[in-house]
Structure formats: C-alpha cells, structure tokens
Amino acid sequence: MTPLSPQSSSLGSEFALSANRKLFGKVMTGLVFTCVAISLIPLASILFMVIVNGLAGFSPAVFTELPPAAGMQGGGLRNAIIGTIITCLIGALISVPFGVLTAIYTIEFSQGNWIFKLVQFCTNVLSGVPSIIAGLFAYGIVVLTTGSFSAVAGGVALSVLMLPTIVRTAEEGLKSVPKTTRMAAVGIGATNFQSVTQIVLPAAMPFIATGVTLSIARAAGETAPLLFTCLFNQYDIQGPWQPTATLSVLIYNFAISPYKNQQQLAWVAALIILVTILGISIFARIISRRKVY
C-alpha cells in the first residue's frame, strides 16, 4: 500500500501528480458517473411508465367497480383494494403484538442472554426467507387445515414477512428510550410491567408506529405469498374465510392476460400500490424524526 512512490513524480515537479495517476482518477470518476446514470435510468423508467400508463386508465370507476371478466370493457378494482386492506390488516393483527412483545423481551428483560442472540439470529434469517416460502407455509398450515383459500391464510403469510421488520423497529424504538426513564419508573415503585407499558412503550410509540406502517406498506405489494393463500376472487368477499382478490395478485393475473383492458387495469393497480407504498415510506421518514424524549 504505497500510494505515493518516489518514482511516480518527475524530477522537475516534485509534488505534481504524474499523468498516469491523473488519468486513472478521471477514468474512474467517469466510470462512477456512468454507473449512477445506468442505475437511475431503469429506475426512473419504472416510475415514469407506471405513472403514465396508470394515469391513462385511471377513472373514479376504478374504486367503485368490480374487475372486468376476460374480454369485457371497463371495470374497476373495488374488491381488490378492499382485499389488500383486509389481508394486510390481518397480517398486522398477528405480527404486531407478536413482534412488539418479542422486542420487549429482548430489550427490557433478556439482558443479552442466549435468547436475545437467538431472536437476533432468527429475525435476520426470517427476513431472508423468500416470500413464496411464506406463502407455501401459510398454505400448509391454514389452507390445508381449513380446506379453503382465504384472506386469513394470506394474512398469516404476510405476518411471517412483516415480523422481522416489526421486531427490529420495535427494538430500535425501545433502545431509543433512555435508561434513566426506566430507573425513574422503578425508583417510584413501578413493576416491570408498569414501567414498560406506561412509560417505555408510549415513549417508543412513534418509532414503533412508523415501523409498523412501513411493514404494512411493504406487505401491500407482496404477491408471491398471496398466490396460493388468498387466490383471487372475481367478486366482493363475504368474509375472511373466502378466497380474496388483492391488488398485487390482480396485477399478476391481468399482466399475463391477453386482453388490453385487463392489462390497462394492471397498470392502474400498480400505480395505486406504488403511490401508497412510496407515500407511506416518505411520510414515515418525516414523522420518525420526532422524538418523545
């Protein structure tokens, strides 16, 4: 590692850079700028195409009508929008208490014992589990047991995917509350339960809430885990134990369909999902800067 060797500078100008070194720097800088350009072009293209194609098919009917059957004109996404909301809520209902309580154990009670390490390891590994495997898992434990595809099965699949994010953000949130507040709570005679639920959790709440909303937003776009759990439904769902249409599965089904009208609706659905996810992500970033303590 000898960046400046005596040979590289000529006799006359002892401190000047040799032409080679200057050239190397310029070439590399050029390469890096090319990298940025190449990376940004497809990403910009995705955003642009989704917005243009999505807006082209956008109308108020999108929110009020059912998806069109093959070859039909018009139609909307009403049941898919409702289905996405329901499955995401079921997923959150399972994973939020689970994740937050786990985080409370690791941060408040574990004091870095083996369970703490186990949870760290498992959340890391769990966040790398392919989403389709979460779908197959939910198929195995819910669909096969109840005998029907359902929004609940989809919610279970999504909850597996949301869990790692929620545990992690809840842990971060709890860590962000200073130790002194806990000591103060114990000092005035609070039990662990009282100090956690009445002092620490409320303080960590903004942090945890953003984590939860972010993971719900991510879950809204998941398709693979819903393919064999929610399946699809041409009509409105009557209850959580029935096959359910979701926006993401609708995008997949309609994108590979040969009908122009359905493809158009796929773009509209993509626009709705994208606006929701990016909107929530940006919003979460803004409010997560606030701190209680």
Partner 1 sequence: MKTQPPNSTETLLEASTQFKVVRSIDKNFRRVTFGLAIGIGLILVWITYSLLVIALPAIQTFGLGFLVDSTWDPVKNIYGALPHVYGTILSSFLALLFSVPLGVGVAIFLTENFLAPKILQPIALTIELLAAIPSVVYGLWGLFVFLPAIKPLFQGLNHNFGWIPFFSTEPGGRQLLGASLVLAIMILPTIIAISRDTLTSLPPKLRQGAYGLGATRWETIMLVLLPAALSGIVGSIMLALGRALGETMAMAMLIGNANQANISWLAPASTLSSLIANQFGEASGLQKSSLFYEALILMVLTLLVNIFAQMLVSRFQQVE
User: Do the Cβ atoms of 98 and 122 come closer than 8 Å?
Assistant: no
Q: Does 257 bind partner 1 (CB under 8 A)?
A: no
In terms of CB distance, is 64 or 124 closer to partner 1?
124
Residues in the chain: 293
Q: Does 277 bind partner 1 (CB under 8 A)?
A: yes
Closest distance to partner 1 from the beta carbon of 255 (Å): 5
Type of residue numbered 114: W
Which of 106, 150, 210, 288 binds partner 1 (CB under 8 A)? It is 106
Site size toward partner 1 (CB under 8 A) is 90
Near partner 1 in 58-97, by CB under 8 A: none
User: Do the Cβ atoms of 151 and 231 come closer than 8 Å?
Assistant: no
260-287 helix and 201-221 helix, angle to the nearest 10 degrees: 160
Site string for partner 1, 15-34 (x = CB under 8 A): --x---xx-xx--xx-xxxx
In terms of CB distance, is 10 or 45 closer to partner 1?
45
Near partner 1 in 110-129, by CB under 8 A: 110, 115, 118-119, 121-126, 128-129
Element (H, E) at 20: helix 19-56
The rounded distance, in Å, linking the Cα atoms of 13 and 29 is: 25
Q: Does 6 bind partner 1 (CB under 8 A)?
A: no
In terms of CB distance, is 64 or 274 closer to partner 1?
274
User: Do the Cβ atoms of 153 and 143 come closer than 8 Å?
Assistant: yes
Site string for partner 1, 151-170 (x = CB under 8 A): ---------x--x---x---
Which of 88, 104, 177, 185 binds partner 1 (CB under 8 A)? It is 104
CB-facing half-sphere around the CA of 70: CA atoms within 13 A: 4
Near partner 1 in 129-148, by CB under 8 A: 129-134, 136-137, 140-141, 144
In terms of CB distance, is 64 or 101 closer to partner 1?
101
Query: With CB under 8 A as the contact rule, which of the stretches 77-85, 204-212, 220-228, 234-242 interacts with partner 1?
Result: 220-228
Query: With CB under 8 A as the contact rule, which of the stretches 47-55, 66-74, 203-211, 236-244 interacts with partner 1?
Result: 47-55
Instruction: Give start and end residues of each alpha helix (H) in 178-289.
Output: 179-187, 192-194, 201-221, 224-227, 247-255, 260-287
Q: Residue 6 has what DSSP assignment? A: G
At residue 205's C-alpha, the angle toward residues 173 and 220, to 5°, is 90
Closest distance to partner 1 from the beta carbon of 170 (Å): 11
CB atoms within 10 A of CB 13: 9
CB-facing half-sphere around the CA of 35: CA atoms within 13 A: 6
